[in-house]
Chain A
Amino acid sequence: GESVGLHLPTLSVQEGDNSIINCAYSNSASDYFIWYKQESGKGPQFIIDIRSNMDKRQGQRVTVLLNKTVKHLSLQIAATQPGDSAVYFCAELFSGGYNKLIFGAGTRLAVHP
């Protein structure tokens, strides 16, 4: 069988609180970043993206912040709801030979009533 695998970090929040999920990326030349949400038994779902010429981008209840200096990306979810419970992945567009979207390991968000 499979040996022990990745242990996803978990962020536990109370319903109604704001959530911040962090991600460190690897390539300083990456110029496109995306956040995906994956619910149990489903494929990843696009949430929001940001290009490297921006520091911040806002969507509905979500904000992505990009700090190129320290190669850090964060996803902020306002007024977190039970339906936000999922695994969240950041992805960077890695430019090395062929452009390739590289996904991070993911963070599990658990929302408690």
Chain B
Amino acid sequence: DAGVIQSPRHEVTEMGQEVTLRCKPISGHNSLFWYRQTMMRGLELLIYFNNNVPIDDSGMPEDRFSAKMPNASFSTLKIQPSEPRDSAVYFCASSLAGVDEKLFFGSGTQLSVL
């Protein structure tokens, strides 16, 4: 299995631009998570899907952030408009079923907003 696949690996954009991060979970996993990692705040859960349905989006910082999971093999995290304070590493993770199963993380997307 290829594991959780994220793209792009690095993204550099200018303030105000739209950014779309992509994730392909491990085949057969029913739960998908988006995390953000910064030096200031560590690893924070942004949103969690179960069977393609958003279960907990309380970590999404504000309306500029949105996430979708149109099918079991693909999810996107969109930031529009992006701001410099959004600069971070964004991780996608998947698990077999829910938060009380081990999470498998992708390699992350390093986002820099100038």
What A residues does B33 contact at CB under 8 A? Answer: 101
C-alpha spacing A101/B55, complex, angstroms: 13
Interface residues of B in 30-55 (CB under 8 A from A): 33, 38-43, 45, 48, 55
Known A6-B39, A44-B43, A106-B42; judge A98-B102 contact (CB<8 A): no
Q: Answer whether residue B100 sits at the interface, using C-beta atoms and an 8 A cutoff.
A: yes
Q: Are A46 and B103 in contact (CB under 8 A)?
A: yes
Q: Of B13-21, B75-83, B105-113, which stretch is located at the interface? A: B105-113
Are A5 and B45 in contact (CB-based, < 8 A)? Answer: no
B56–A100 contact, CB under 8 A? Answer: yes
Known A98-B56, A98-B58, A100-B45; contact A5-B40, beta-carbon cutoff 8 A? yes
Q: Are the C-beta atoms of B100 and A32 separated by less than 8 Å?
A: yes
User: Please, how many residues of chain B have a CB less than 8 angstroms from a CB on the other chain?
Assistant: 26
Instruction: Tell me the count of chain A residues lying within 8 A, CB to CB, of chain B.
Output: 26
In the complex, chain A residues whose CB is within 8 Å of the CB of B45: 100-102
Question: What is the interface of chain A, defined by CB distance below 8 A to chain B?
Answer: 2-3, 5-6, 32, 34, 36, 41-46, 49, 89, 93, 97-106
Extra contacts, 11 of them, besides A5-B40, A99-B100 (Cβ < 8 A), are: A6-B41, A6-B42, A36-B105, A43-B4, A44-B93, A45-B105, A49-B102, A93-B100, A103-B43, A105-B42, A106-B42
Contact B39 A2 (CB under 8 A): yes
Instruction: Identify the closest chain A residue to B88 (Cβ).
Output: A2
